[in-house]
Structure 1
């Protein structure tokens, strides 16, 4: 999804504190755009800035939903910038650790994160996109996990660890060993993306979905993300304990009372996250 240039000055974050990402606010939706054209290749700086942005947005009450996308339509992200520099062992470790940190942050971030994927989604870009809670793909999106054909070991905690939990052993091995390109429809059939949207309708539909999600109950979203993640990071038993924990919190919340009242009064609820 191309970066929004039609926002009023008050709706865009100034001064721009980042080199490789752009942040825009529109109502309760914040969009983070990976901005390293032409293919938004990932660098240490980009990963550091993504982490910094999510840290800032966690405490920003006005943000209820985050959309993560890439600049332009050629690529969400084509993965690591292999031409940036020859990596030493130390820099490779730093890159790996930051990649893992971003994947972990997306999963543990307490607000819903929507990936808006246009064009190529490869390697590190694939890991980032798949870690998002909802993954919306334009009909022109393309996916690749061909690390074996570059001699690269995937090490961000996605392809070799999470992917089996997400789509199953056989499909994960098919992706990683065959390393072939997938179109958006194939990715949807495998469960990699939530839905496929025609290219011409993509920006409008992403905005519609993000607006809807931003109106959901913050406490419930926290419960959903934390409990679902616990099922494979910890155990089903740990997830059940979290379910109990969050249900007790939710049952006493103003948001639950507001949600029930709004349902009975046939109006949209106004949640406050408490």
Structure 2
């Protein structure tokens, strides 16, 4: 089932998986409207109980997202606060969204596209994917809270500096080697692999996934002590949950669990 309630994206529902598709071919360039649509869709999907996993992808095969639409945002790419604030809001929302988010990355993944793709929890790359963090060669300061803030926590100081200072294109295998992506999939089987991974994730415990996302983020956003406090908080919630009882019963009965998030 496809929703047509948004101007620049498509939202498709299949079982427990919802797919957000950036729909501005050929390269799915970002504008304030696109970012607003993503935020709106995430708000809707958080409330939708049937949605257990979200896939973020781009239309076509040329690009997941080639960054900002320079014609649409003009000088705002480097100096405007609206575009920056919306970009930061999307990165933050993807990272703190209570359900797992998978980015499905084909073709170019550049600039703002790189930021939102890396903010997702699992990052699947087609063999056609190409990554670039070449802001220094455009005179742009990356300011969406990814390249200058999160990236060093994600892949380490030296690798982050290599990417940002050299600004060279990375193919999918090189991106896997530095820890940017989860796995690389042949393009001819990419959609099938994305669907299989998303279907599996959609069967996991919503309580456990929320605990994982919040506690892992707290390691760098706050402190190890804050992360440990969250771990204890979620362990107490999980320990009293119906989902834990269901998981144990399903294991004993050698069947797939049916989690309800409570």
Flag the 1:20–1:253 CA change in 2: closer, same or farther, 3 A. same
2:163 to 172, 175, 178: 175
Number of the residue aligned with 2:115? 127
User: Which blocks of at least 5 consecutive residues in structure 1 are unaligned?
Assistant: 1-10
Deviations 1:41-68 (A, max 9, x none): 0000000000000001001000000000
User: Are 2:80 and 1:68 aligned?
Assistant: no
Deviations 1:18-63 (A, max 9, x none): 1110000000000000011110000000000000000010010000
2:106 to 91, 99, 118: 118
- Bigger mean CA deviation after superposition, 88-97 or 235-244: 88-97
Number of the residue aligned with 2:248? 260
Q: Secondary structure at the match of 2:191?
A: helix
Deviations 1:217-244 (A, max 9, x none): 0000000000000110100000000000
Number of the residue aligned with 1:228? 216
Contact residue 27 and residue 63 of structure 2 kept, 8 A: yes
Number of the residue aligned with 1:102? 90
Measure the CA separation in 2 of the matches of 1:91 and 1:53: 27
User: Are 2:142 and 1:154 aligned?
Assistant: yes
User: Which blocks of at least 5 consecutive residues in structure 2 are unaligned?
Assistant: none
Flag the 1:169–1:80 CA change in 2: closer, same or farther, 3 A. same
2:193 to 190, 194, 205: 205
Measure the CA separation in 2 of the matches of 1:161 and 1:36: 28
| CA apart distance, 1:87 | 3.5
Contact residue 22 and residue 59 of structure 2 kept, 8 A: yes
User: Are 2:53 and 1:43 aligned?
Assistant: no
1:136 to 124, 146, 151: 124
Measure the CA separation in 1 of the matches of 2:60 and 2:128: 13
Measure the CA separation in 2 of the matches of 1:145 and 1:194: 18
User: Are 2:26 and 1:12 aligned?
Assistant: no
Measure the CA separation in 2 of the matches of 1:102 and 1:209: 23
Number of the residue aligned with 1:5? none
Deviations 1:118-166 (A, max 9, x none): 0000000000000000000001100000000000000000000000000
User: Are 2:68 and 1:80 aligned?
Assistant: yes
The count of residues paired between Structure 1 and Structure 2 equals 262
Measure the CA separation in 2 of the matches of 1:91 and 1:23: 31
Q: CA RMSD in A?
A: 1.2
Give the TM-score, by structure 2 length: 0.98
Flag the 1:152–1:204 CA change in 2: closer, same or farther, 3 A. same
| CA apart distance, 1:86 | 3.0
| CA apart distance, 1:12 | 1.9
| CA apart distance, 1:84 | 1.6
